[in-house]
Structure 1
Amino acid sequence: MSRAYNFSAGPATLPEAVLRQAQAEMLEWNGAGASIVEISHRGPEFIQVAREAEADLRTLMSIPDDYAVLFLAGGATVQQALIALNFANPGQAADYVVTGHWGKTAIKQVKPYVDARIVANGEAGGFRDIPPRGAWQLSADAAYVHYTANETIHGVEFRGIPDVDTAPLFADFSSSIAAEPLDVSRFGLIYAGAQKNLGPVGVTVVIVRRDLLERAGQPRADIFTYRSHVQGESMLNTPPTWNWYLAGLVFKWMLAEGGVTEFSRRNARKSAMLYDVIDGSGGFYRNEVAPDARSRMNVPFFLHEPALDATFLKQAAEAGLIALKGHRVLGGMRASIYNAMPEAGVQALVAFMRDFQQRNG
């Protein structure tokens, strides 16, 4: 078996050590006589898995006790609708900062429920930068302020937490969670699909300040109520047990590797390597995002001649570098270099890019 370096934006590469452990435990988990995907989610074996996963994530991200942690199905887009149902009154204002495709998606999900106000928007500039905080037009009566910490498609990332003292701060961290230390106490709610930085597709992490769970929100079924999921320890209905278990293995792997602080160092080195080869190519490659807003997780780039795109992708795949095609919204290339992407993978990509330029420049 020869594993390629997988630069997919999501589902994304997982640590090989985690995959090997899951492979070894697939037929029979921990002497239970059955696979982890076959045992009851309400049995003592899986409850222990779930509790360890939560404890490890709390340690990894330094999550305070006054925040609840949920592991839910449905993906981040579902959470975008649920936060309006749970935390805003019908028709109440909610402020949204839009810095890319997923910020726009978040508004689409809540429009039936709230007065979604775009208080800052980077679309006029092609989502190549983050609107300056001083230009944000925040509402005095907003239920919350929402932003997308890292835009997977456009490659724009907030470097730091915006100060919004008018309402609780909610954030989509799907593609940058646990990429660097984060002061969770600055937020009312954080949500993230696991399939980029925390584990496999199919499970979403929600971190919510407990006092916010007392908000009445809007008429909804109990299954759509965060408070009920907290009371049910994320088992109000049958959870995605395999995905939850795999995410737990990723948490343990990250802690063993040195935790979020160590991954922050690695992510800085990896992204610097990639941006250096792009910026030093004399225009053969280009990244159009403002340097201060460049993502460490998703690096979109373009070749000076689009006719070379197909050749680049074909030869990259032959070199063991896969999933580099850019999103259809932008085209070009995109390298997603999440926590599980080893530095050797980025080194291999950088070497290929230099060689490709020499042969085609």
Structure 2
Amino acid sequence: MKKHNFSAGPCILPQEVLKKAANAVTNFNGIDLSLIEISHRSKEFVEVMEKARSLVKELLNLPEGYSVLFLQGGASLEFLMTPYNLLKVNGKAGYFDTGTWSSKAIKEAKTLGEVDVFASSKDKGYNYIPKNYNIPSDIDYVHCTSNNTIFGTQIKEFPKTDALLVCDMSSDIFSRELDFTQFDLVYAGAQKNMGPAGTTLVIVKDEILGKTGRSIPSMLDYQVHLSKDSMFNTPPVFAVYVSMLTLEWLKEQGGVKAIEKINQEKAALLYAEVDRNPLFIGFANKEDRSTMNVTFNLTNETHKDTFDKLWNEAGINGLKGHKSVGGYRASIYNAMPIESIKVLINVMQQFEKQVS
């Protein structure tokens, strides 16, 4: 039976990407060597890295003055690299707290300096995005998380600030069109819309670096990585290659504009069923709902075993909600086909008939 993969991450990737990646592990580009056993400085892999970076710039319409890096350590390392590279000695950073990952970013920033959490939705279990807030004027940068996988919320309008604007886009990058000139630094773990776990995309405005007055360890210094074209140390060759393949696939689909339309259709279908079906209730505020992670709960927990049995029998994988929230979470990233959404909706409707 075909599995319908709603996992939050590592998550679904296009089938054609997986096939090409599998072939590359045994024989990369017909050279009779595996992708994962050739030198990262070989002509073959340098071309992969250059193409991956070029596709990022093309698909996101990045202007001159922005550089692209493929690093390691996930968004969790970026939580620390951000203040190291942008928080001035004796400076202050402003943070927008909308969930678990922004909270972790705040914790790391506090190890280097003063942090002002100027807006938070913690008071209501992170089920909404704060709106009426005041951004301090005496800060070096503002940090926000665009999409919250655990709680199913997504920023629709980003903070307006004269300070530098930083965004963790791990779970919704390449899913919708955005004006990236509003950001000075963007980072994203690959394992949602871009590739497998193991590499992290960083987009940085060149002119903002080298102004903190602090000494930065080499491995945490964006300027060091830029000077070495993402190869200061051995890069995660497989993760970068699969990311390149996924970006090629996205371009073939018509790019970010085309995939955004599909993503909106998928989300609209599933949210409509959540709202229609009396056995379910959405977790996130409607105006802040994510198009990537649909979170919902049962209105009566005594029916949990019945629903779980139905979706498991339908070949659905990864629907269980995060342990901190409970309930259910359908992650519907770029590669999720609309057919899988329809299978889930059918299960929800079967559940309604069976329980009623």
**Structure 2: distance between partners of 1:210 and 1:83:** 14
Residues 1:295 and 2:290 aligned together: yes
Given that 1:100 and 1:127 are in contact with CA atoms closer than 8 Å, whether structure 2 keeps it comes out as yes
Given that 1:87 and 1:217 are in contact with CA atoms closer than 8 Å, whether structure 2 keeps it comes out as no
Shift of 1:24: 2.3
Residues 1:347 and 2:342 aligned together: yes
**Structure 1: distance between partners of 2:248 and 2:157:** 26
Shift of 1:217: 4.9
**Structure 1: distance between partners of 2:47 and 2:241:** 10
Residues 1:171 and 2:199 aligned together: no
The amino acid of 1:346's aligned partner reads I
Shift of 1:346: 0.6
Given that 2:85 and 2:210 are in contact with CA atoms closer than 8 Å, whether structure 1 keeps it comes out as no
**Structure 1: distance between partners of 2:303 and 2:213:** 52
Matches within 5 A, 1:134-213: 135-164=132-161, 166-213=162-209
Between 311-320 and 111-120, the greater mean CA deviation after superposition: 311-320
The amino acid of 2:167's aligned partner reads A
Match for residue 309 of structure 1?
304
Given that 2:69 and 2:202 are in contact with CA atoms closer than 8 Å, whether structure 1 keeps it comes out as yes
**Structure 1: distance between partners of 2:223 and 2:92:** 22
**Structure 1: distance between partners of 2:343 and 2:6:** 12
Match for residue 11 of structure 2?
12
Residue of 202, 210, 215 corresponding to 1:214: 210
Residues 1:227 and 2:226 aligned together: no
Residue of 277, 282, 301 corresponding to 1:281: 277
Given that 2:306 and 2:351 are in contact with CA atoms closer than 8 Å, whether structure 1 keeps it comes out as no
**Structure 2: distance between partners of 1:101 and 1:296:** 18
The amino acid of 1:191's aligned partner reads Y
SS in 1 for 2:29: coil
Shift of 1:312: 2.0
The amino acid of 2:164's aligned partner reads P
Change in CA separation of 1:314 and 1:215 when aligned onto 2, cut-off 3 Å: farther
Given that 1:309 and 1:332 are in contact with CA atoms closer than 8 Å, whether structure 2 keeps it comes out as no
RMSD: 1.2
Match for residue 88 of structure 1?
87
Residues 1:117 and 2:116 aligned together: yes
CA displacement, residues 157-193 of structure 1 (integer Å, 9 cap, x when unaligned): 01133322x2011001000101111111000111000
Given that 1:86 and 1:217 are in contact with CA atoms closer than 8 Å, whether structure 2 keeps it comes out as no
SS in 2 for 1:269: helix
Shift of 1:51: 0.5
The amino acid of 1:229's aligned partner reads H
CA displacement, residues 269-294 of structure 1 (integer Å, 9 cap, x when unaligned): 00000100010013x10003221100
Matches within 5 A, 1:48-59: 48-59=47-58
**Structure 2: distance between partners of 1:66 and 1:90:** 25
Between 335-344 and 2-11, the greater mean CA deviation after superposition: 2-11
Matches within 5 A, 1:100-111: 100-111=99-110
**Structure 1: distance between partners of 2:147 and 2:24:** 34
The sequence identity of aligned pairs, in percent, is: 38
Shift of 1:27: 0.7
Shift of 1:307: 2.7
SS in 2 for 1:30: helix
The amino acid of 2:150's aligned partner reads I
**Structure 1: distance between partners of 2:104 and 2:227:** 29
The amino acid of 1:315's aligned partner reads L
TM-score (norm 1): 0.96
Aligned residues: 356
**Structure 2: distance between partners of 1:354 and 1:70:** 45
Shift of 1:89: 1.8
SS in 2 for 1:313: helix
Runs of 5+ in structure 1 lacking a partner? Answer: none
Residue of 346, 350, 359 corresponding to 2:354: 359
TM-score (norm 2): 0.97
